[in-house]
Structure 1
Amino acid sequence: MTEFEKMIRGEAFNAIDVDLRLRREAARIACAKFNAHPSKGNLRHVTRLFSAFDSAVIEPGFQCDYGSQIHLGKNVFINFHCVFLDAAPIHIGDDVLIGPAVHLYTVDHPRDATQRASGECHAKPIVIGNKVWIGGGAKILPGITVGDNAIIAANAVVTRNVAPNERYFG
């Protein structure tokens, strides 16, 4: 089984694997093409990486690891300089507002230094419900689910699941 297949299955994987590095490089190039000359035409370089894309506005500065595990619903707005590390799926519902410099991290590293040095990683999905508003600078950690209509405060670090309609201040 390849490291990519392990990653997709949610198993521990080696992030320094050559195939995974090439996939991240392809995503960086796609993002760079869009970010250098933001336009609807150049946005296709990014959105064709995505697993699901309906209708979204993505402002320049967007970065992702692979893109292949990003699922966007309808009417999603992603503001400037957002980072989506998608070693595991990132599901974003409909009518979601994502503020500037929001980071979504699905990937995590071992706490043991020897394992970490070997390149071993694991990842957990992030699920963001419908009509969620994530304030600028917020960070959402691996394995988090944000319920429908929730509001995440600017600069919050989301370390636990957020219930529907909840206002999370971190």
Structure 2
Amino acid sequence: MTHAHEEEVLARIAKGLVYTESEAAFQAPRRRTEQIFEYNHTPPSETEKRRSLLVAIFGSVGERTVLLPPFHAGFGSNVYIGDDFFGNVNLTFVDDVDIRIGNDVMIAPSVTLTTTGHPVHPLRRADFGRFSEPIVIEDKVWIGSNAVVLPGVRIGYGSVIGAGSVVSRSIPPMTVAVGTPCRVVRPITDEDLTTRTAGH
């Protein structure tokens, strides 16, 4: 594949247009599958080795990162994580394009963040035809167990995504959003500072 053709494919991907497995094959060297496998089989006591693997896998990774194995990623190198991240077991990144995660983000078990979908018509899925749009998770977000975040979604500062939600549209800051499809059910307010405290 010529450099010009690679640029054309990357431009199409950036616009959220359909591209195929064969067209995107030149990106294969950016996949960190061996390092991800190694991380998932590294003993918990080997904290320095785990940290060095995360630095090698991700596009960037902040300080004080907790990511409980196993986790999975299509590339790994398209994921950018801020400081004080907590990712529980079975976190899946479908990172054909960027997934950007801010600071102080918590993700519960078995969450999927997928930047990629497929056309509805089967003829357009030949050669694994697909489209990709970036995901942004802003600071201080909490995502509940078994949630799925779909291509192009931005989850705003401080928001909470309820367990089992399918997030197909962007969620504004400081809200609680739940369901399939995920919808805002209420704002987060100062009253939430007093829940589950002594005497409540």
Query: TM-score, normalised on structure 2?
Result: 0.76
Secondary structure of the 1:164 match is coil
Runs of 4+ in structure 1 off by over 6 angstroms are: none
CA distance in 1, matches of 2:119, 2:150: 15
1:70 to 79, 95, 100: 79
Preserved contact between residue 8 and residue 87 of structure 1 (Cα < 8 Å): no
2:58 matched residue in structure 1:
50
How far apart, CA to CA, are the structure 2 residues paired with 1:2 and 1:96?
Answer: 34
The yes-or-no answer on 1:5 pairing with 2:13 is no
The CA deviation string for residues 40-70 of structure 1, in whole angstroms up to 9 with x for no partner, is 3034334313222112111101110111211
- Give the secondary-structure state (helix, strand or coil) at the position aligned to 2:61: coil
Provide the rounded CA distance (Å) in 2 between the counterparts of 1:123 and 1:8.
6
Give the Cα separation in 2 of the matches to 1:109 and 1:43: 34
After superposition, the Cα gap between the structure-2 partners of 1:70 and 1:158, relative to the gap in structure 1 and judged at 3 Å, is same
2:155 alignment partner AA: V
Matches of 2:170 and 2:119, distance apart in 1:
21
Identity among equivalent positions (%) equals 30
Task: Verify the 8 A CA contact 1:62 1:83 in the aligned structure 2.
Answer: yes
Segments of structure 1 that go 5 or more residues without pairing to the other structure are none
Find the residue that maps to 1:48 and give its secondary structure. Answer: helix
CA contact (8 A) 1:7 1:13 kept: yes
**Structure with greater Cα Rg:** 2
* Corresponding position of 1:30: 35
Q: Which amino acid aligns with 2:101?
A: I
Query: In structure 1, what residue type is equivalent to 2:148?
Result: K
Q: Which runs of 5+ in 2 are unaligned?
A: 180-200
Counting only pairs closer than 5 Å after superposition, residues 126-141 of structure 1 correspond to structure 2 as 126-141=135-150
Q: Which residue of 1 aligns with 2:178?
A: 169
Asked whether the 8 Å contact 1:7–1:87 carries over to 2, the reply is: no
Alpha carbons 1:147, 1:164 under 8 Å: kept: yes
1:116 aligned residue: 125
Supply the RMSD in Å over aligned alpha carbons: 2.1
One of 8, 15, 20 as aligned partner of 2:21: 15
Secondary structure in 2 aligned to 1:71?
strand
* Map of 2:110 onto structure 1: 101
Distance (Å, rounded) in 2 between the aligned partners of 1:169 and 1:33: 35
Question: Alpha carbons of 1:97 and 1:130: their partners in 2 closer, same or farther (altered >3 Å)?
Answer: same
AA in 1 matched with 2:42 = H
Does 1 or 2 have the higher relative contact order (CA < 8 Å, sep 6+)?
1
Shift, 1:6, TM fit: 4.7
